[in-house]
Amino acid sequence: MKTAKNQTLLLAGILTLLFNAPAPAQKISPSLQQSISRGVKGAEYVCWVTLADKQGSAYKNTLEKRSLDRRQKLGRALSYGDLPVSEKHLEAIKKSGARVRVISPWLNAVSIAASADQVAQLAQLTYVAKLDLVARFKAEDELKTARPINSKSLPALDYGSAEAQIKLLNIDQLHAKGYTGSGVRILIIDTGFDRQHEALLRTSVVAERDFQRTVPARDQYGDTLSYHRPDSITSFESDQDTNRQQTQHGTGMLSIVGGYKSGSLIGSAYNADFVLAKTEKLTGSDFYLEEDWFVAALQWGDSLGVDIATSSLGYRQWGDTTVRSSYTYSQMNGDIAFCSRAADSAVSRGIVVLNSNGNVSNNTRPDTCIVAPADGDSVISVGGVWPTTRLWANPAVGGGASTGPAADSLIMPGGTTMIRRIKPDVASAWQTAFANNMDTVNYSQILNGTGTSGAAALTAGLCALLLESHPAWGPKQVMEALKYSGSNRYTVETYLAHPESIGTDQSEFAAIATGHIYYGDNTGTFLDLYDVYRIGWGIPDAVAALNYTAPEVVLPEIDQLLDPYPNPAKPDAAGIYLPYFLARDSYNVTIRVYTLDGRMLRQLDYGTQLAGEYPGQRQPRQSSLPVTGGRPGGYWDLKDDKGQPAPSGLYLVILSTGWNQSVRKVVVVR
């Protein structure tokens, strides 16, 4: 039966973008053009084909009831992203001779393997919006330093070697209340998973998929090709790896969340159900990710109704920098990497997404160390602290946890750095115990390793406990609860109230690893404001997060002009104060005064301003830099743009922010 909802989606699917179509050459990204120019004759290029429309698409339900229920909890209907990619467009891509690898309805994109001629041919199609390389990233190998834990020194308590990491977040207290992750479904995207370890024998796995799996085939010319053909085996396979190093990392992450062996190792959500995706291909000492596999894994998890998706490997550096340079800091804004865009899309569908914030390579740090998809706006990015000292894992003193902020943080004109989108969001144990599957002699060994990988996995378990205890919560409430309970919350709030205290330009980020900027409050406490970049809101407290209640919102939820005063403005008034409220940071705040016949009398420009309440000021600001000591707001001196007094009458005052417009009436009495 075709519902009204499906009819709406069908209508959306036949809309096309027939205007402002770029020229074919402009559709091919500079990185893909560079790769083709350097490539040898006959080479194949793995790239994303972004489509401009979904012509002829009709919704077909492939989602489990869990997935539909999760959307309904958010009040979210099926949307344009849930429509399948146009079959007509897919057929045209296949006819070009390109091989389809992964199809992404969320991104309305198809990843393909194609020759340079086929890329040029696809760029000619009117409904192809862009072609760009699929990312093949190199991430940090953080498990080389893993070392065995002497079982003789393990405490008799149930958690065994996991005691420090569990108690760091007070997860043990939620376990004591009966919350263990039961009924929550967690997707883990990683390198592979072997579950013969004694701590994983009872772990509940409901689905597995190896997105790396390919099968040999021959094309029309008799040349050997490899076709993407996922299977359901995520454990060690000798044809993919000569030893068990391939599956070590994923096995360890699974054990941190879902392991259970009393007195040895207990995970943070040991009764959760798990969906396992093998997307990370390990070659030598480096982890590699094909970006389209990551996107496919997220979409697959959504179809199975997962509540949480966690990825413990971050991506910023290309595996082969001779083909394409690594991502720059300016591209870590959540809108460039396909994996980041897909992660935000998953959150919009009700999935809590976590990712490690990244690690510092060889104790060096470029500008900031955030990686994709941790840069996603809605992704819970996790930094690292030592579980014993609770301090940031400083690379200068034997650590290596990365720092933020995200690249799209607000940099005000004039050079003052004002960070508004803080990354990492929270921090967890940099040093974790996990199950090892490398040693085939002592197969059930427990190792102790370092990295933000384990921190993200541990925190994913806490998120499962929160969803179990609050079934009505979605990603927004989970993130708010983690931040509210964070150990560094007071420092973050202090920093947000005094953002002009930090830095002068982006070069200041280099000091975050070793520098300190202190702020003294009225209690004599000195706060290290650089910790905002290092650990975000800090270490979540499971008990405080469990008891979190969203505060009542008193101020408007949208940008709004508040009541002007004095109003009416009588003959002795020098002007009218124009207070307003900004629900979000705005890059171009403008107040205009109009006569009733629509003639603009005065325009007041306030430039870029941060979210918050602005009570009013006597003179328009000449600079968009913040004014120390308060938020001034608007003021009209009752004159027009030529400096002449406005006559008596009724005027309309309009606030424009780029996000919203708000109107008030004012009266001038002469």
Task: Give the mean pLDDT per block of 10 residues along the chain (670 residues).
Answer: 38 36 81 84 88 88 89 85 93 93 94 93 95 73 57 58 96 93 96 91 96 61 55 81 82 96 95 94 56 92 97 67 59 87 95 92 59 92 95 82 78 52 93 80 82 95 97 95 96 73 56 76 76 94 94 70 87 84 86 92 88 62 33 81 92 91 92
Q: Residue 470 and residue 479: Cα distance in Å, rounded? A: 13
Q: Residue 132 and residue 28: Cα distance in Å, rounded? A: 6
Q: Which amino acid is at 324?
A: R
Residues with Cβ < 8 Å from 438, sequence gap 6 or more? Answer: 243, 244, 245, 248
Q: Residue 531 and residue 538: Cα distance in Å, rounded? A: 8
**Pair 131, 48: CB distance under 8 Å:** yes
The β-bridge relationship of strands 273-278 and 204-210 is parallel
Count the Cβ atoms, other than its own, within 10 Å of residue 627: 11
Give the tokens for residue 205. Answer: 């796995």
Q: Residue 61 and residue 570: Cα distance in Å, rounded? A: 65
The β-bridge relationship of strands 265-266 and 185-190 is unpaired
Helices (H) and strands (E) in the chain, counts: 16, 33
Phi, psi of 506, rounded to the nearest 5 degrees: -65, -20
Q: Residue 443 and residue 247: Cα distance in Å, rounded? A: 13
Count the Cβ atoms, other than its own, within 10 Å of residue 518: 11
Judging by beta carbons within 10 Å of its beta carbon (0-12, 13-18, 19+), is residue 623 exposed, middle or buried? exposed
Q: Residue 383 and residue 453: Cα distance in Å, rounded? A: 9
Give the tokens for residue 255. Answer: 């054990």
Tokens 């969203």 belong to 550
Provide the pLDDT for residue 556: 67
In the chain, % helix, strand, coil (3-state, to 5) comes to 25, 25, 50
Q: Residue 622 and residue 633: Cα distance in Å, rounded? A: 12
**Pair 167, 458: CB distance under 8 Å:** no
Q: Whose CA is closest to 269, among 451, 449, 468, 450?
A: 468
Q: 110-128 burial, b for 16+ CB within 10 Å, e for fewer?
A: bbbbbbbebbbbbbebebb
Q: Residue 81 and residue 344: Cα distance in Å, rounded? A: 12
Domains of the chain: 4-134 (no CATH), 138-546 (3.40.50.200), 560-668 (2.60.40.4070)
Q: Which residues pair with 382 in a beta bridge?
A: 356, 426
Q: Residue 112 and residue 53: Cα distance in Å, rounded? A: 18
- Cα-based distances in Å from 201 to 16, 85, 123, 461, 651: 52, 40, 51, 18, 74
Q: Whose CA is closest to 385, among 357, 352, 407, 406?
A: 357
To 10 degrees, what angle do helices 245-258 and 452-469 make? 40
Judging by beta carbons within 10 Å of its beta carbon (0-12, 13-18, 19+), is residue 268 exposed, middle or buried? buried
Q: Residue 585 and residue 420: Cα distance in Å, rounded? A: 8
Give the tokens for residue 528. Answer: 């290290």
Q: Whose CA is closest to 249, among 342, 139, 353, 375?
A: 139
Phi, psi of 225, rounded to the nearest 5 degrees: -130, 165
Phi, psi of 428, rounded to the nearest 5 degrees: -140, -170
Tokens 């039961």 belong to 182
Taking the CA atoms of the chain, what radius of gyration do you get in angstroms? Answer: 27
Residues with Cβ < 8 Å from 365, sequence gap 6 or more? Answer: 395, 402, 403, 510, 512, 513
Q: Which residues pair with 260 in a beta bridge?
A: 266
Terminal C-alpha separation, the chain? 68
Q: Residue 567 and residue 13: Cα distance in Å, rounded? A: 50
Q: Residue 192 and residue 207: Cα distance in Å, rounded? A: 13
Q: Whose CA is closest to 105, among 166, 46, 167, 61?
A: 61
Q: Would the pTM of this model clear 0.85, i.e. be above it?
A: no
Give the tokens for residue 428. Answer: 């967890």
Provide the pLDDT for residue 4: 38
Q: Residue 60 and residue 255: Cα distance in Å, rounded? A: 36
Q: Which amino acid is at 265?
A: L
Q: 2-20 burial, b for 16+ CB within 10 Å, e for fewer?
A: eeeebeebbebbeeeeeee
Give the tokens for residue 19. Answer: 């205007």
Provide the pLDDT for residue 344: 95
Q: Residue 274 and residue 205: Cα distance in Å, rounded? A: 5
